[in-house]
Structure 1
Amino acid sequence: MRVTSMSSTPAAERTPSIIGGAMIIGGTIVGAGMFSLPVIMSGLWFYGSVAVLLFAWFCTLHSGLMILEANLNYREGASFSTITRDLLGRGWSRLNGLSIVFVLYTLTYAYISASGSVIHHTAQTLGVEFSSRASGLLFTLMVAFIIWLSTTAVSRMTTLVFGAKILAFFLTFGGLLGHVQSTTLLDLTSAESHYWPYLLVTLPFCLTSFGFHGNVPSLMKHYGKNPQRIRACLVSGTLVALLLYLVWMLCSMGNIPRDAFKDIAQRGGNIDVLINALGSRLDSANIDLLLTFFSNFAVACSFLGVTLGLFDYLADVLGFDDSPGGRLQTAIATFAPPMFCAFIWSEGFLHAIGFAGLAATLWAVITPALLARASRKRFGSPRYRVWGGTPMIALVLSFGGICALSHLLFVFGWLPVWR
Structure 2
Amino acid sequence: MVAVLSFLAPNVTESYLLSMPIEQGLIVAAIPVIFTSFGFHGSIPAIVNYLDGDTSSLRKAVIVGSTIPLVIYIFWQIVTLGVVSQDALIENGGLSALIGQLSQTVHKSNLSSIVGVFADLALLTSFLGVSLGLFEFLGDTIKGKSEKPNRLLAAVITFTPPLGFALFYPQGFIMALGYAAIALA
Q: State the TM bucket, normalised to the shorter chain.
A: 0.7 to 0.9
Match of 1:257 in 2: 85
Matched, 1:328 2:152: yes
Match of 1:212 in 2: 40
Structure-1 separation of matches of 2:129 and 2:29: 26
Aligned residue pair count: 184
TM-aligned CA distance change 1:343 to 1:289, over 3 Å = closer
Scaled by the length of structure 2, what TM-score is found? 0.87
Match of 2:18 in 1: 186
Contact 1:205 1:354 in 2 (8 A): yes
Match of 1:314 in 2: 138
Match of 2:110 in 1: 286
**CA deviation string 1:264-306 (max 9, x = no partner):** 44xxx3x444323322443311322221222222122112111
1:182 alignment partner AA: E
Contact 2:99 2:112 in 1 (8 A): yes
Between Structure 1 and Structure 2, whose CA radius of gyration is higher? 1
Measured after TM superposition, the shift of residue 345 of structure 1 is: 0.6
Structure-1 separation of matches of 2:3 and 2:147: 40
- RMSD, matched Cα: 2.3
Match of 1:248 in 2: 76
Which one of 167, 172, 176 corresponds to residue 348 of structure 1? 172
Structure-2 separation of matches of 1:308 and 1:173: 29
1:350 alignment partner AA: I
Measured after TM superposition, the shift of residue 236 of structure 1 is: 0.5
Counterparts of 1:105-144 in structure 2 under 5 Å? none
TM-aligned CA distance change 1:226 to 1:232, over 3 Å = same
Contact 1:208 1:360 in 2 (8 A): yes
Scaled by the length of structure 1, what TM-score is found? 0.41
Match of 2:59 in 1: 231
For 1:224, what is the secondary structure of its paired residue?
Answer: coil
Match of 1:175 in 2: 7
Unpaired segments of 5 or more residues in structure 2?
none
Structure-1 separation of matches of 2:139 and 2:22: 48
Structure-2 separation of matches of 1:345 and 1:260: 28
Match of 1:202 in 2: 30
Contact 1:176 1:287 in 2 (8 A): no
For 2:11, what is the secondary structure of its paired residue?
Answer: coil
**Sequence identity of aligned pairs in percent?**
29
